[in-house]
Structure 1
Amino acid sequence: MSDSFLVKESNAVTVSNETIGKVAILLCTYQGERYLAEQIDSIISQTYDNWVIYASDDGSQDHTLEILRAYQKKLGTERFFVLPGPQQGYVNNFFSLVKNQSIVADYYAFCDQDDIWSEDKLYVSIQWLKKHAVETPSLYCGRTALVNELGVKVGNSPLFKYPPSFKNALVQSLAGGNTMVFNHALKAIASATANSEVISHDWWFYILVTACGGRVYYDFESHVSYRQHSDNVIGANAGVISGLARLKKMLGGRFIEWNRRNLKAVGLLKERMPPSNLMVLENFERARCSPLLKRCIFLMRSGVYRQTLQGNLALWVAVLLNRI
């Protein structure tokens, strides 16, 4: 193993408080040798240290498993678990951890293999989550700082200012999974409903928590550095070019398929949904299968919205062209 894979020592001042609760960090890896050590080092440097890492590797053929084993040896087998992934893509890899009944904690944090966490990431998210009753599904998420392959900041993810809600979740994913920390109540619902129909784990969690009347906090401050590189499965979706690419996909039929799959999965939640959300869902579903005039009426009744002016304009173009 090369020197770049060696486990680093951390000198961070930590805050360990058992009453706040344990965090299970759900780390998914695949061919991640290039940046994995830096990500794990940033976890070790957290000011809040009541965490356990569960790493699910999806069949890496590089040095990823060697790196994971080295950190497991350093941190101990009670604090660092290495599990085999289902080898069915990154979404199912994350869902394999969500549905794993042996992983039990007070809170859970999705973790990508190539990011860098700010030292206060877990502390900030847990401070918000602990304000809410344990039986209320709750999700913390937020913006990311965009960094290049060397870890140098090059920008920020888009700032979304409209309130998180089911009306927004039906037509837009709010935040990256790499920012998400959630409580056990949400994990319990997700483990019973996660399936291959959904588009992505992060979008599904946003839909899930809002559909069930849970709590969502979108942090305007970034506590994750999201690395932009050629091997990203999904990029940051920032900038004019990315916006045009999304519009092209939306009008080309991708949005229709995304909605079909998400709505099929949402069908499993109807017994958990408050009447107001059921009404939103009914109007949105009717809009999708109605002629133009009624399509517009039902969409307005549903109240669905995206987070930017450009996004809402694109949504209405899709409505007019029957691409929802």
Structure 2
Amino acid sequence: MAAPHIHILLCTHNGGPHLADQLESYGAQAHGDWSLWVSDDASTDDTRATIARFADRHPGRQVRLFDGPALGPAANYLSLLLRPEIPDGWVAFSDQDDVWLPHKLKHGLAEMGARGAQVYASRTILTDAHLTRIGPSVVHRRGPSFSNALVQNILAGNTLILDPDAFARLRAMTAAALQEGIDPPHHDWWIYLAMSGAGLPIVNDMRPGLLYRQHATNSLGAHRGLRAGTARATLLKDRHYAGWLATNLAALSAASMYMTPPNRTLAEAFGAMRQVKGGAARLAELRRLGLKRQSWRGDLVLAGLALTGRL
């Protein structure tokens, strides 16, 4: 596969002291053919000035800055990927506070070519706010599938690369959902749902491609450790998870014309299962549908949610 041009999609909001590191890591990529498209969500710090300085230091590089909708990270990313100014082509999604390792883009493209994938994600190396390494992100050994995407996101949004066909499909599915007034709550989970629902091949690479900075203002942070587990338990208790599932299913329904028939049927059956009366009946239907998370512990939690009507 010839080395393609990649559109880097970056969303920012008060990037503070970490944005410059992220920007400089683009310039250090072994794959040098890229442009940068930024959607800034009403930053009040020096985020825009930092981006302008970066653009000035790279006069031969296309760097475009847009105003975001100021409705949160998910809405910002979804609005950016629908920008008509961004041509069709390859895209890589980026957070504002990580550091890409030099091999990230080149290796991701090579893996996609070798495995015949249209969507790429990878593990990350978790760090503290000062980039001191903590360890690698979790391994999702069951791998990506639509039956998993319906109940869990395993694709790190800051590692995603999509080929032109996948990007075009994602744009169409996102536009269909937004036109119905449905706003997916998490852009990376939505990408996992949309791409797997459309039947596109996905690779979730074991090799980390970036340093994933953990700090107080992370939107969600990594899915690891006691703090992450406590946060997830709170979301389940407060029924946030059930609300996310409902919105995701509504978004898929709006974009169902782009899904494979079996996946469309599975999504509809999951929606119907959530309305079944009686915990035992819901659990039996959950098992019949084959919906699973990435671990037996996760499956137990899912079963408990079905039994107690929290799905």
CA apart distance, 1:109: 0.7
Which residue is equivalent to 1:148? 128
Are 1:215 and 2:186 counterparts? no
Q: Give unpaired runs (5+ residues) of structure 2.
A: none
- Name the SS of the counterpart of 2:16 in structure 1: coil
Taking the aligned partners of 2:140 and 2:14, their CA distance within structure 1 comes to 32
Are 1:260 and 2:246 counterparts? yes
Taking the aligned partners of 2:143 and 2:223, their CA distance within structure 1 comes to 20
Taking the aligned partners of 2:289 and 2:304, their CA distance within structure 1 comes to 17
The Cα offsets for residues 27-50 of structure 1, whole Å up to 9 and x where unpaired, read as 111111311111111110000101
CA apart distance, 1:77: 6.6
Distance of aligned partners of 1:231 and 1:293 in 2 relative to their CA distance in 1, 3 Å threshold: closer
Match of 2:19 among 36, 39, 46: 36
Which residue is equivalent to 2:183? 197
Which residue is equivalent to 2:149? 169
CA apart distance, 1:298: 1.7
Distance of aligned partners of 1:42 and 1:208 in 2 relative to their CA distance in 1, 3 Å threshold: same
CA apart distance, 1:88: 1.7
Are 1:57 and 2:40 counterparts? yes
Are 1:106 and 2:86 counterparts? no
Match of 2:109 among 122, 126, 132: 126
Moved more, 175-184 or 45-54: 175-184
Are 1:272 and 2:258 counterparts? yes
Taking the aligned partners of 2:59 and 2:232, their CA distance within structure 1 comes to 44
Taking the aligned partners of 1:273 and 1:30, their CA distance within structure 2 comes to 33
Opposite residue 168 of structure 2, the aligned amino acid is A
Pairwise CA RMSD: 1.8
- Return the structure number with greater helix share: 2
Which residue is equivalent to 1:3? none
Q: Does the 8 A contact of 1:253 with 1:323 survive in 2?
A: yes
The Cα offsets for residues 93-128 of structure 1, whole Å up to 9 and x where unpaired, read as 111221012212531011111000010000111113
Opposite residue 187 of structure 2, the aligned amino acid is H
Distance of aligned partners of 1:163 and 1:193 in 2 relative to their CA distance in 1, 3 Å threshold: same
- Name the SS of the counterpart of 1:34 in structure 2: helix
Taking the aligned partners of 2:258 and 2:12, their CA distance within structure 1 comes to 33
Q: Does the 8 A contact of 1:95 with 1:201 survive in 2?
A: yes
- Name the SS of the counterpart of 2:76 in structure 1: helix
Q: Give unpaired runs (5+ residues) of structure 1.
A: 1-16
Are 1:94 and 2:77 counterparts? yes
Distance of aligned partners of 1:303 and 1:143 in 2 relative to their CA distance in 1, 3 Å threshold: same
Opposite residue 96 of structure 1, the aligned amino acid is S
- Counting aligned pairs with the same residue, the percent is 30
Q: Does the 8 A contact of 2:280 with 2:307 survive in 1?
A: no
Taking the aligned partners of 1:199 and 1:166, their CA distance within structure 2 comes to 18
Distance of aligned partners of 1:278 and 1:55 in 2 relative to their CA distance in 1, 3 Å threshold: closer
Q: Does the 8 A contact of 1:147 with 1:228 survive in 2?
A: yes
TM-score by length of 2: 0.92
